[in-house]
């Protein structure tokens, strides 16, 4: 049985020795490409007519094949090629694989990009193109085609942003990337912004070896250089120094530490048999109706658990100023800022699209997949967040002098 993972084994041994030059091989490849496309066109005509050539189903249908006409197609990889385009007697057939005004190359390349963006490996893409389009391409060709993504990605990463974002969510995701012959974990820094129209957008992503407050400061500086003048509320995890990094670039921004992250970090220090009761008591703190009641519940929580779980309790006390900011806002606004779930949902989406890639060969490969994943996910972000009309009014009242709508 032939091994489809090795293109050369699909041909008889010594097959390629017949080509004495690059030009002779290119000529053969062009003829193979031409044959594959023409067979695809014939299949399209079969589907249009409703029957295949020389079958009785075609009798008295009112339409039939009517020869061919030559058409020169400009492709990006093969160059100019003359195809025999089939036609029907009624003149109704319009090929889909070669739409008017488009080249065959862009049609197939768009399909390749679509498959690649949904997490398929270059090997998977190659097999799908062969199966669907009848064209044999190498994994290198797939990589070369997807390389054009980097141009779009760089333009996207450098685009101008809104002057004001009502909220931003910042978090990192770890992926395995090969570097200097070793596979290492690298942190992908991601920022989502809430625009004045209530629609979310990913502001960018950045790759670094480890997550640090210092690098987050460089991310925020990048956002500022791309036109961001103000961020009203920033929602983050409790990485040490994160709040100071935000204040250094956007001094007026309200920082809200993610309550969910804080709960998870606290529970790390609680033995399993106490965890349920511990969490029930803790819930009374972060679900309080206002700051005063929350502080009262925190004192009760502290008196009960401090001796047994001192670190878990002191962590809440040390971070309280940045944990309790959401108590100052109405319930509708609280729901969107007390947790980084918004960006964690995006991270899960990225993992979904990249799960077939256990590791990336380099940062470029990782960037291509992340960028395409984000673009796919953002396609669903067409409407404002829930209750946006009400939340917008709350923002306008609370941040009256800083809102730009």
Task: Write out pLDDT tens, residues 94-145.
Answer: 777 666 555 545 566 666 666 665 556 667 777 777 776 666 666 666 666 6
Residues 85 and 174 grouped into a single domain: no
Residues 101 and 220 grouped into a single domain: no
Contact 89, 116 (CB under 8 A): no
pLDDT at 299: 95
Residues 208 and 121 grouped into a single domain: no
How many angstroms separate the CA atoms of 32 and 161, rounded?
A: 47
| 23-27, 235-239, 269-273, 289-293: least confident range | 23-27
Residues 358 and 329 grouped into a single domain: yes
The pLDDT of 188-198, averaged and rounded, is 95
- Domain of residue 34: give its range: 22-146
- Beta strands 182-194 and 200-208 are antiparallel
Q: With respect to residue 183, please indicate whether it lies within any of the assigned structural domains.
A: yes
How many angstroms separate the CA atoms of 315 and 319, rounded?
A: 6
Last residue of a domain, one of 107, 122, 146: 146
Last residue of a domain, one of 94, 119, 146: 146
How many angstroms separate the CA atoms of 35 and 12, rounded?
A: 20
Residues 221 and 307 grouped into a single domain: yes
Structural domains in the chain (count): 2
Q: What is the pLDDT of residues 142-185, one digit of tens each?
A: 666 666 677 788 899 999 999 999 999 999 889 989 888 898 99
pLDDT at 373: 85
pLDDT at 132: 65
Mapping DSSP to helix (H, G, I), strand (E, B) and coil, where does residue 4 land? coil
Please, what is the average pLDDT of the chain? 83
Q: What is the pLDDT of residues 384-405, one digit of tens each?
A: 999 999 999 999 999 988 887 6
Q: With respect to residue 185, please indicate whether it lies within any of the assigned structural domains.
A: yes
Residues 174 and 79 grouped into a single domain: no
| 16-30, 41-55, 247-261, 277-291: least confident range | 16-30
75 — pLDDT class (breaks 50, 70, 90): low
Contact 267, 275 (CB under 8 A): yes
Residues 308 and 380 grouped into a single domain: yes
The pLDDT of 42-51, averaged and rounded, is 82
The pLDDT of 329-349, averaged and rounded, is 90
| 2-6, 55-59, 305-309: least confident range | 2-6
Q: With respect to residue 193, please indicate whether it lies within any of the assigned structural domains.
A: yes
258 — pLDDT class (breaks 50, 70, 90): very high
Residues 180 and 137 grouped into a single domain: no
Exposed, middle or buried, 284 (CB in 10 Å: 0-12/13-18/19+)?
middle
How many angstroms separate the CA atoms of 176 and 174, rounded?
A: 7
Q: With respect to residue 14, please indicate whether it lies within any of the assigned structural domains.
A: no
Q: With respect to residue 9, please indicate whether it lies within any of the assigned structural domains.
A: no
């Amino acid at each position: 049985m032939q091994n489809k993972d090795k293109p050369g084994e699909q041909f008889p041994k010594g097959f390629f020795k017949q080509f004495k030059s690059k030009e002779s091989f290119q000529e053969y490849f062009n003829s193979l490409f031409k044959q594959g496309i023409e067979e695809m066109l014939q299949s399209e005509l079969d589907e249009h007519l409703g029957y295949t050539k020389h079958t009785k189903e075609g009798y008295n249908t009112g339409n039939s094949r009517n020869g061919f006409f030559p058409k020169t197609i400009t492709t990006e990889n093969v160059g100019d090629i003359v195809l025999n385009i089939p036609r029907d007697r009624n003149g109704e057939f319009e090929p889909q694989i070669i739409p008017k005004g488009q080249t065959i190359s862009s049609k197939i390349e768009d399909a390749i990009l679509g498959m690649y963006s949904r997490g398929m490996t270059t090997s998977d893409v190659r097999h799908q193109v062969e199966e669907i389009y009848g064209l044999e391409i190498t994994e290198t060709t797939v990589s070369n085609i997807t390389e054009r993504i980097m141009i779009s990605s760089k333009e996207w990463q450098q685009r101008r942003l809104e002057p004001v974002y009502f909220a931003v969510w910042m978090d990192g995701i770890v992926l395995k990337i090969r570097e200097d012959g070793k596979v290492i974990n690298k942190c992908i820094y991601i920022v989502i912004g809430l625009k004045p129209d209530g629609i979310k957008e990913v502001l960018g992503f950045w790759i670094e070896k480890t997550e640090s407050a210092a690098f987050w400061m460089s991310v925020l500086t990048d956002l500022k250089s791309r036109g961001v003048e103000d961020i009203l509320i920033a929602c983050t995890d409790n990485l040490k120094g994160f709040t100071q990094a935000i204040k250094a670039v956007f001094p007026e921004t309200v920082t809200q530490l993610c309550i969910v992250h804080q709960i998870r970090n606290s529970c790390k220090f609680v033995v399993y048999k106490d965890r349920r009761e511990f969490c029930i008591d803790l819930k009374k703190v972060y679900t309080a109706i206002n700051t005063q009641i929350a502080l009262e519940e925190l004192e009760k929580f502290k008196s009960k658990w401090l001796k047994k779980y001192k670190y878990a309790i002191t962590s809440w006390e040390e971070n309280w100023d940045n944990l309790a900011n959401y108590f100052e806002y109405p319930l509708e606004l609280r729901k969107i800022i007390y947790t980084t779930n918004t960006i964690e949902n995006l991270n899960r989406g990225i993992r979904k699209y990249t799960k077939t890639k256990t590791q990336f060969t380099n940062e470029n490969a990782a960037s291509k997949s992340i960028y395409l994943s984000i673009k796919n996910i953002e396609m669903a972000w067409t409407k404002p967040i829930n209750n946006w009309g009400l939340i917008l009014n709350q923002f306008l009242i609370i941040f009256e002098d800083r809102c730009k709508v």
